[in-house]
Amino acid sequence: MSEHFGFIGVGRMGGPLAGHLIDAGHALTIFDIDQAAMAPLAARGAKLARSALDVASAAEAVFVSLPTPDIVRAVALDADGLIAGKRIKTFIDLSTTGPRTIGAIAAALEKRGIATIDSPVSGGIAGAKKATLAVMAACPRALFERFEPILKCFGRVFHVGERPGMGQTMKLANNLLSATAIAISSEAVVMGVKAGLDPRMMIDVINAGSGRNTATEDKFTRAIFPRSFDFGFTTGLMYKDVRLCLEEAEALGVPMWVGSAVRQLWQFANNALGPSSDITQIIQCIEEWAGVEVKSGN
């Protein structure tokens, strides 16, 4: 059944996701501060709004896909945000916002009769384009059942809990593992190259053995060996996710010795390479310290 949705944040992740909703026959009202980002969807029939408030006054359910917790909070709760909308009944956050931030947003929206689906996604830009994301939805079961068919437009959907914030916790745990995988794999491969091993052979052996992970199975061959460093996820966003995870662990009283070291390395990479650098460039920090470069033929 065709429905009308709002979508805020139609950049590298949100754009493909909004496109899948159009593919499924739904009508969209969209908003993004980048006018160019809205153009492809406008060409496909999406209506352009001038603000988040306009979106929330046009649609009963509004998706957001935004880069930072502060931006999500502002879009949701500012005077010209979703909370002031005339039609909105459901807020669906696809961003990585953090459990406490989405909890506070959900509590504020609930006072205005607006339900929240905490639904971060994992799988990167490639997964967004292919509709193969892992979608981690946290909300009451009845609300989940209402929106599960819609969320399936984005990939495989999981109901991870009844309470907003539980989806965020699941996403942060996932991204800590992803961040750790590329950091430690970079250290291991640089060590091997310094000792004279061929890096492609190393990756083949690792992927045939017990050390394989998301970095060795994908990121090295796609973006590190060609030296293209274009995986599509920024260092700044990865550092943000790791920082949020460690902050949540601290609040819960859970020790994270390895996680603390991973956060330190990503903080260094964020400062050294810049937040807009690609996550695969973290290996360049280790290469510089070791005095070698990871490329085929070493």
Domains of the chain: 4-163 (3.40.50.720), 169-290 (1.10.1040.10)
| Cβ proximity of 45 and 5 under 8 Å | no
At 298, the pLDDT band (50, 70, 90 cuts) reads: very low
Average pLDDT of the residues in 126-137: 97
**In contact, 59 and 82? CB cutoff 8 Å:** no
Q: How far apart are CA 145 and CA 111, in angstroms?
A: 23
In this structure, the number of other CB atoms found within 10 A of the CB of residue 184 comes to 17
Strands 47-48 and 133-138, bridge-based pairing:
unpaired
User: Which residues are identified as catalytic?
Assistant: 171
CA distance linking residue 18 with residue 283, whole number of Å: 33
Query: Cβ(127)–Cβ(79) under 8 Å?
Result: no
pLDDT over 70, % of the chain: 99
Over the stretch 223-259, which tens digit does the pLDDT of each residue have?
Answer: 999 999 999 999 999 999 999 999 999 999 999 999 9
pTM beyond cutoff 0.85: yes
CA angle 198, 203, 204 (to 5 degrees): 100
Residue linked to tokens 């390895």: 258
Q: Where does the pLDDT of residue 297 fall: very low under 50, low under 70, confident under 90, or very high at 90 and above?
A: low
Instruction: Name the residue among 26, 44, 20 with its Cα closest to residue 155.
Output: 20
pLDDT score of 161 more than 70: yes
d(C-alpha 223, C-alpha 220), whole Å: 6
